Amino acid sequence: MHISGKIGIPVGIVMLIIGGLIAASAFGSWEESENIETFMSEPSMEIVQQYIDEDGAGSAGWYLMIQGEYSLDNNGDGTVDACDGLNITITDSQGNDMNSTSATIYCELEENGKMAGLDKSNVDINDGWMIVGIVCDTLDNAEMNGYWETSRNENGEEGEVWVQTGENDRCEIGEKYTISSGQEMVLFDRDTQAGLEVRGLIQLCGGICCAICSLIFLIGAVISGFAMKPAPQMMMPIGTGGGVVGGVAPTVPIDSTATSSTVPGTAVFGAGPIVDSSIATDDSVNDDSMAAADSLKEMFLAGAAEQVTEDVPDQE
């Protein structure tokens, strides 16, 4: 297998696993957002809540809920019966009345029907608590300050257009608001719940994108790993007395002026110099040397014989 496959395949598998884990974490965020008890305050006649907007992008606010039944109007006055005698006041930390700027109460039948839709979608319409107002919905996330209508633009193209009918809530970051009522109520933190839903959507999209990219990368690594041939291994020739290593014979430069057939690198340690066979011997010189040697030998033998004769004693 090519080196690209050996490296790319494990990396692609790890990236694919990471993408799957990120996508799976989205379901955890959505499951957490469905646990409505974590977003509800304890029932009370007075609740103090601090407005915090960490991302600075606005807030979906808190749902103000009391016990009652949606769209129930037995006296026919156009408002739900649960709102009869309802007196809710909202003040800031200095005691200023913030009812008109920080919250809106929806007790009319038509508006109360929209609250029922929000309760069914985001809370629990069967829990006995009814939404009658929203506090610090600075984004108009509940779409209570306008409506969508179908209209045509200047080019004659048909589309949905948002028609603003009211002013969005205005709340100051870091300000503590005190909500009071003559009956028990709870606040449902819709902004925190919406944040978890958005986070889950981002995790799902990010995980799917990561998994798709990882899968493409993994397929490419598999193809390249098996399709590409490994790089050939290079074998370097090493000269050892004129031998052949790795199938390649060492090359030796030839000197055209050399008189010896000796090849560099083939000398044997301890050997004497090579005798040049081109040196010729002179036969006449050899004959003269032999004659001189014979003459000296004869002279030596004659002298030795005379010496032996003189030293022998006379016999009586």
118 lies in some domain: yes
For residue 182, the enclosing domain spans 37-190
pTM: 0.62
Residue of 239 and 77 predicted with greater confidence: 77
307 lies in some domain: no
Domains held by the chain: number: 1
By DSSP bridging, strand 176-189 and strand 44-50 are antiparallel
Query: 30: closest CA among 117, 132, 122, 130?
Result: 122
Give the pLDDT confidence score for residue 114 in this predicted structure: 92
Beta strands in 252-307 (DSSP E): none
Q: Please tell me whether residue 106 adopts helix, strand or coil conformation.
A: coil
Query: 93: closest CA among 51, 61, 53?
Result: 51
211 lies in some domain: no
153 lies in some domain: yes
Q: For the chain, percent helix, then strand, then coil, each to nearest 5?
A: 40, 20, 40
Q: What is the mean pLDDT of the chain?
A: 78
116 lies in some domain: yes
168 lies in some domain: yes
Q: Judge residue 32's burial from the number of C-beta atoms within 10 Å of its C-beta, 0-12 exposed, 13-18 middle, 19 or more buried.
A: middle
Q: Give yes or no for residue 81 having a pLDDT over 60.
A: yes
162 lies in some domain: yes
236 lies in some domain: no
C-alpha neighbours within 13 Å on the C-beta side of residue 188: 26
Residue of 20 and 1 predicted with greater confidence: 20
pLDDT digits (tens, 9 = 90+) for 234-274: 666 555 544 444 445 555 555 555 554 454 555 444 444 55
List Cβ neighbours of 115 (8 Å cut-off, separation of 6 or more): 70, 106, 130, 131, 132
